[in-house]
């Protein structure tokens, strides 16, 4: 076993009972060291499920879903370093973080979500996609970088060169392996920003089954003209209100979107219809049962009686 093969395997450790394929399928069998070698050699592309059964992960990822590497670099500056910028298979920007011990998923997600929200982009995907797994779940996989010559890590070029240059696999993997981060730093910082492990949050129920609309959604919609959403908070508030509407069993998804549209149209600077639709779709596909009322951007909009925001 060569050094690069061993370090690559260790960096991208995930579930051992399943892996993802390039075409979107899931293979329910053991992931072997040979699979990692085949990926590096460009023979078989694999995707790894980062969430382990104890709700920890060896890595975290921000998936921008667009080729804006300068913006990805700004996000990197917001989060604990070092991190690694990848040009994905589709040409978009991914930002990777690696740990020297398994890190609680809620802490990873807490910090990555704080970055997407700080940049007014709460709809951006992060991995892992769950704080905790239910029995029988495996979570969501992400395709690994360095599939042969594809999906390299990038570095800023010297002055006068191209904006970004690809790092050779052996150099990038060895550096990333040597510079893995301490999970305790992420846990401490996540708590400082208000993130909590699932067992410390409000009780959850099955998605879409709430018999009544959470009071903050109604409060925010009713006061949309009196207290319109401002730029720095609009994405976060719209996303959380969408979650609350979709969790209410008495409203259809068409009605939920129409209410969200009314809230957006009353904002100081409404987002586009397509952007609103994407945000709504992300809220629906995520099947979130939390209200999000305890997020900092929500404070000036939520009901003064909300037990979650004012716990």
* Alpha carbon distances (Å) from 147 to 46, 240, 258: 8, 37, 43
| DSSP per-residue codes, 38-52 | HHHTTSS--EE----
In this predicted model, what pLDDT tens digit does every residue of 232-273 receive, in sequence order? 889 999 999 999 999 998 888 998 999 999 999 999 999 999
- Say whether 301 sits in a helix, a strand or coil: coil
Beginning with the edge strand found earlier in the chain, give each strand of the sheet holding 142-143 in spatial order. Answer: 26-27, 19-20, 47-48, 142-143
Least confident of 142-151, 152-161, 277-286: 152-161
Residue 55 has pLDDT above 60, yes or no: yes
Q: Give the whole-angstrom CA distance, residue 162 versus residue 136.
A: 47
Who contacts 227 (Cβ-Cβ below 8 Å, separation ≥6)? 220, 300, 301
How many CB atoms within 10 Å of residue 43? 12
Query: Distance (Å, rounded) from C-alpha 222 to C-alpha 237?
Result: 14
Q: Is the pLDDT of residue 202 over 60?
A: no
Taking only the tens place, the pLDDT of each residue in 275-302 is 999 899 888 888 888 898 988 889 899 9
Average pLDDT, whole number, for the chain?
90
Rounded to an integer, the average pLDDT of 36-42 is 96
First to last CA, the chain: 53
pLDDT band at 127 (very low <50, low <70, confident <90, very high): very high
Distance CA 72, CA 300 (A): 29
What is the number of other CB atoms lying within 10 angstroms of the CB of residue 68?
13
Determine the 3-state secondary structure of 64 from DSSP: coil
Q: How far apart are CA 243 and CA 283, in angstroms?
A: 6
Alpha-carbon distance values, 103 to 17, 52, 86, 139 (Å): 20, 10, 21, 16
144 confidence band (pLDDT: 50, 70, 90): very high
Q: What is the pLDDT of residue 22?
A: 87
CA angle 75, 288, 270 (to 5 degrees): 60
Dig out the tokens for 34 from the structure: 């040979």
């Amino acid at each position: 076993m060569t050094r690069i093969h061993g370090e690559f395997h260790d960096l991208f450790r995930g579930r051992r009972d399943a892996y993802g394929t390039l075409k979107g399928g899931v293979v329910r069998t053991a992931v072997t060291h040979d699979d990692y070698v085949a990926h590096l050699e460009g023979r078989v592309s694999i995707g790894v499920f980062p969430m382990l059964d104890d709700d920890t992960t060896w890595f975290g990822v921000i998936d921008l879903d667009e080729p804006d590497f300068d913006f990805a670099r700004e996000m990197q500056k917001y989060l604990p370093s070092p991190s690694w910028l990848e040009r994905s298979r589709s040409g978009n920007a991914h930002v990777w973080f690696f740990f020297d011990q398994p890190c609680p998923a809620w802490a990873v997600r807490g910090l990555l979500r704080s970055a997407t929200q700080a940049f007014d982009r709460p709809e951006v995907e992060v991995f892992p996609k769950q704080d905790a797994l239910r029995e029988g779940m495996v979570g969501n996989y992400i395709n690994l970088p360095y599939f042969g010559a594809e999906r390299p890590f990038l570095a800023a070029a010297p002055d006068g060169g191209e904006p970004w240059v690809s790092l050779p696999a052996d150099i990038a993997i060895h550096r990333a392996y040597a510079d893995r981060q301490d999970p305790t730093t992420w846990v401490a910082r996540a708590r400082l920003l208000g993130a909590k492990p699932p067992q410390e949050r409000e009780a959850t129920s099955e998605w879409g089954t709430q018999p009544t609309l959470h009071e903050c959604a109604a409060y925010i919609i009713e006061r949309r003209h009196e207290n319109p959403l401002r730029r720095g908070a609009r994405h976060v508030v719209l996303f959380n209100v969408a979650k609350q509407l979709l969790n209410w069993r008495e409203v259809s998804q068409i009605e939920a979107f129409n209410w969200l549209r009314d809230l957006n149209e009353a904002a100081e600077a409404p987002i586009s219809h397509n952007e609103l639709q994407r945000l709504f779709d992300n809220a629906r596909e995520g099947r979130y049962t939390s209200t999000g009322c305890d997020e900092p951007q929500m404070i000036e909009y939520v009901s003064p009686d909300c037990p979650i925001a004012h716990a």
